[in-house]
Amino acid sequence: MAVTLEQAQRVGYTCLKALLRFAFMVANNLVAIPSYVLYLIVLQPLRILDSKSFWYIEGVLFKWLLAMVASWGWWAGYTVVEWGDDVKAVSEDEAMVLVNHQATGDVCTLMMCLQDKGTVVRQMMWLMDHIFKYTNFGIVSLIHGDFFIRQGRAHRDQQLVLLKDHLEKYYRSRNRKWIVLFPEGGFLRKRRETSQAFAKKNNLPFLKHVTLPRLGATQVILKTLVAPQENGIPSGGDAVRKGSKSKGLQWVIDTTIAYPKAEPIDIQTWILGYRQPTVTHVHYRIFPVKDVPAEPEALTNWLYQRFIEKEDLLTHFYETGAFPSPQGQTKAISREMTLSNLWLVAIQSFAFLSGGMWYCLFQYLYHCLF
C-alpha cells in the first residue's frame, strides 16, 4: 500500500521529535547526575557534623532528579489518573508499597504520581533488580540507599540476609518513610507462564493480568521495620529499636497500575515519546500493618489475596475503562494527578545551571593547576 504524503510527514515528525527528546534526555543526564554527585561530595563535612541535614538535602536533590524523569513523560502526554484510597493521608507515616510489575515504565509512572505526595519521594527507598545498578541512574540509587536485589533461587537466601542488613543500616539512619517493591519478582510477560503453572500445580487461582507474588522480601521488611509491639512480632523490629523515635512501619499500600488496552509503557517510549498521549491509571488501597499476619503461611495467603484482588481490579478496568467502586459506594472516584510545568522548568534549569557551574569551576581549577 502506498504511503501518502501526510503519513510520511507524520512519521518524519515522530522520528524528529524522538531524536530531539533523546538528545535532551542525554544532555539532562550528563548535567543532572554528575551535579547530584558533586553536590554531595562537597557536602561531606555536613554529613559528619549534621547527618540529618545532609540526608534532607540529598532527599531534595533526589526528588528533583525523579521529577526530571517524570517530566519526560509528562511533556509527552503520559499522564496519571489515581483511584481508591488517598495516600496523601499517610505520606508522613512509614509504609510498604506493593506494586504489580508489567514493564520498565512502571517505575517512571511511580516517579511521576508520587511527586505530589509531600515528602514521600525524597524519603523513600526502592527495591529493584540488580541490573539497574549498572544504568545511568545506578550511582544515584546507590548513594540514596536503594537496595538492588539479585533474582534467582541460587541467590534468594543470601539476598534476603543482605536486605535485612541493608534496612537496619540505612532505613532509619537516613529517615526513610516509604519502601517500594514489586513482589512478583519480574515483568508480567516473563513470569506469567511460570506463575500459572505453579498455580495449577498448587490449586491456586489462574491469573492473567498479574502473577503470584513472592514472599521473601515482604516478610523481611515486615520483620525488620514493624514495631515489636505490633503485628505479633516479638523478636522483630531491630531497625525500630535503633531509631527510638520511630513508630515503625504503619501501613501497607497495595498499588495497582493499569494501562489502557493492557499495553504498558516501557522506558524507551517514556524517553522517546513516540506513543500517542496515554493516561495510566493507578489504584491504591491502604491496609494497617497490624492487620497483616506475621506467620509465613498466613502472610503468604494474605499476599496472594492482594494479587487476586489486583487481578479482579485489572479485569474490571480492561472491560470498562475504570476501576470498580469501593464496597459500600455506588461510584468510584478518580483524581487526575497534575504537575506544575513551571516547577519542572525550574528544576531542569537548575540542573543545567549546575552543570555549567561545575564545568566552569573545573576549567578554572585546571588552568590554576596547569
Hey, which of 68-77, 124-133, 184-193 has the most confident mean pLDDT? 68-77
Q: How far is CA 153 from the centre of its chain?
A: 24
Q: Please give the residue that has the higher pLDDT: either 286 or 242.
A: 286
Cα dihedral angle (261, 265, 271, 273), rounded to 10 degrees? 0
Q: Is a pLDDT exceeding 70 seen at residue 241?
A: no
What mean pLDDT is reported for the chain? 90
Task: Please say whether the beta carbons of 183 and 213 come within 8 A.
Answer: yes
Band (pLDDT 50/70/90 cuts) for residue 236 is very low
Mean pLDDT on 258-273: 93
Instruction: With H, G, I as helix, E, B as strand and everything else as coil, classify residue 306.
Output: helix
Do 119 and 91 meet the contact criterion of CB atoms below 8 Å apart?
yes
Which pTM was predicted? 0.90
Rounded to an integer, what distance in angstroms lies between the CA atom of residue 112 and that of residue 175?
22
Q: How confident is the model at residue 2 (pLDDT cuts 50, 70, 90)?
A: low
Which distant-in-sequence residues (6+ apart) come within 8 Å of 311 by Cβ? 205, 207, 208, 209, 210
* pLDDT given for residue 247 in this prediction: 81
> What Cα–Cα distance (Å) separates residue 108 from each residue in 7, 24, 111, 113, 233?
30, 17, 5, 9, 34
* pLDDT level of residue 77 (50, 70, 90 thresholds): very high
Look at residue 278 and give its three-state secondary structure. Answer: strand
Query: Mean per-residue pLDDT for 175-181?
Result: 95
- Please choose, from the candidates 352, 277, 270, the residue with its C-alpha nearest in 3D space to the C-alpha of residue 22: 270
How many percent of the chain have pLDDT more than 90?
75
Question: Is 70 exceeded by the pLDDT of residue 336?
Answer: yes
Does residue 84 surpass a pLDDT of 60? yes
Q: Is the pLDDT of residue 230 over 50?
A: no
Tens-digit pLDDT profile for residues 29-39: 999 999 999 99
* DSSP state, residue 122: G
Given this model, what pLDDT does residue 370 score?
79
CA distance 95 to 179: 6
How confident is the model at residue 227, as a pLDDT?
A: 77
Give the list of residues 6+ apart from residue 178 with CB closer than 8 angstroms, or none.
94, 95, 96, 97, 120, 123, 124, 125, 253
Average pLDDT over residues 136-154: 88
In a 10 Å sphere around its CB, with 0-12 CB exposed, 13-18 middle and 19+ buried, how is residue 261 labelled?
exposed
Lowest mean pLDDT of 104-108, 121-125, 128-132, 232-236, name the range.
232-236
Band of residue 166 on the pLDDT scale cut at 50, 70, 90: very high
Q: How confident is the model at residue 235 (pLDDT cuts 50, 70, 90)?
A: very low
Given a cut of 80, is residue 357 above it in pLDDT? yes
pLDDT computed for residue 12 by the predictor: 82
- Min mean pLDDT across 64-68, 296-300, 324-328 is at 324-328
Is pLDDT above 70 for 233? Answer: no
Using the predicted structure, report yes or no on whether residue 10 has a pLDDT greater than 50: yes
pLDDT at 7: 76
Q: Are 157 and 177 in contact (CB under 8 A)?
A: no
> What is d(CA 164, CA 81) in angstroms, rounded to the nearest whole number?
34
| Weakest mean pLDDT among 282-286, 321-325, 350-354 | 321-325
Indicate if the pLDDT at residue 183 is higher than 90: yes
Round to whole Å and give the CA distance between 264 and 255: 16
Question: What does the DSSP 8-state code read for residue 226?
Answer: S
